[in-house]
Amino acid sequence: MKKLFKNATVLSGEHILPQHSVLVDGDRIVNVAEKINESADTEVIDLDGDYLMPGFIDLQINGGGGSFFTKDLDENSLETIYKSHLKCGTTSYLPTLISTSMENIQTGIKVTKKAMEEGKYGVLGLHIEGPFFNPIKKGAHFEKFIHSPSDDEINLFTKDSDTIKLMTLAPEVVKSEQIVKLVQSGIKVSAGHSNASFDEAIEGFAAGITKVTHLYNAMSQLNSRNPGLVGAYLNSNDTWGAIIVDGIHVDLASVRLAYRLKKGRLFLVSDASFIEHPVNEFEFDGFKIHYDNGNYYTDDDKLAGSSISMHDAFKKCVDEVGISIFETMQMSSTFPARYLGIENEYGHIKKGYKADLVILDRFLDIKKVIKNGKVIEKKEACLV
């Protein structure tokens, strides 16, 4: 049965459309207009002015619902993570592998590839975060796995470019020609866990790096005599940035500054380790992480991902950073889709696009989540 969402404040990705209707047939949007005639074969849902926006797209999720992908490398893990974030409005995502063995990485690629081929769990591809990092900026990554890549390792990744959509690496420990090879294979490359100088960062951008990973965190900072990776990003017109807006990883004043300087080239990620079911502590690959006062840390007190959903970051951007609802919607959906090169199907409410939607009330709390045209039951939604 078709679904008609009427009397909505539609955040289309391009415009704010008050008192509009959106018609969904199957998993696609088939019409967006001020008035759409109702028919007998259509379920009508009156939003009474509530916001209707594209589903959140998160390009960096480590875990959720008690599962951590790098530790639990199987289909059940992807399903558990997906369901926990779906309730909070994230309809598509990149499961993220942190630094681990090449054997585990290969397993993660196979599991992700299968989910993609079967169209399951909102998986858009894989984000490999590490192990080609600078150990000085390892953060919550296990140093025993961190190293500079061999050409054989780079070639191995390029063979799976249909699955690997994003790789985070430190430009100063990876050869420019290796970055070029990854990019030419179709993999997006992001700079992170890096102590690069300004010049090294710019060289990395020239080689094809198009983004920085969790801006400000685990990277060389902006200072008077060496602007570092942060300064290189803020000075670049074209480079994108992903940022964790939980008020812990980045001070909100720094979020505000990045937004002002990089408006249109900044989007949100959760970098979630767990949501929904906090895990007090866990260990894998000999590495221990514990939960303390709402956040995850390593034994040496390094932040280990976040405990927020994209919806949490969305609300904080609007309520505390002062970014408009429309622009925050773009940072949560339209811009991640644009960066990933999938904005012909995702990140907008337009005819022909995927019917992945979120309904928010005037307080920005989630009322319903729609995935592939199917409404998630209210009892399952991430309601405050």
List residues with catalytic annotation: 271
* DSSP element (H, E) containing 297: strand 295-298
| Tokens coding 307 | 């405990």
∠ CA 359-86-45, nearest 5°, is: 30
In one letter, which amino acid is 108? G
Nearest Cα to Cα of residue 274 among 124, 91, 80: 80
| Look-up of token digits 């959906």 | 333
Q: Is the dihedral of CA 308, 309, 313, 316 positive or negative?
A: negative
Rounded distance between C-alpha atoms, residue 195 and residue 201, angstroms:
9
Nearest Cα to Cα of residue 369 among 180, 92, 169, 63: 92
| Tokens coding 325 | 């609802």
CB 228 within 8 A of CB 197: yes
In one letter, which amino acid is 15? H
Q: Is the dihedral of CA 328, 329, 335, 340 positive or negative?
A: positive
Nearest Cα to Cα of residue 11 among 371, 314, 357, 384: 357
**Residue 131: is the preceding peptide bond cis (ω within 30°)?**
yes
Rounded distance between C-alpha atoms, residue 30 and residue 22, angstroms:
8
CB 214 within 8 A of CB 303: no
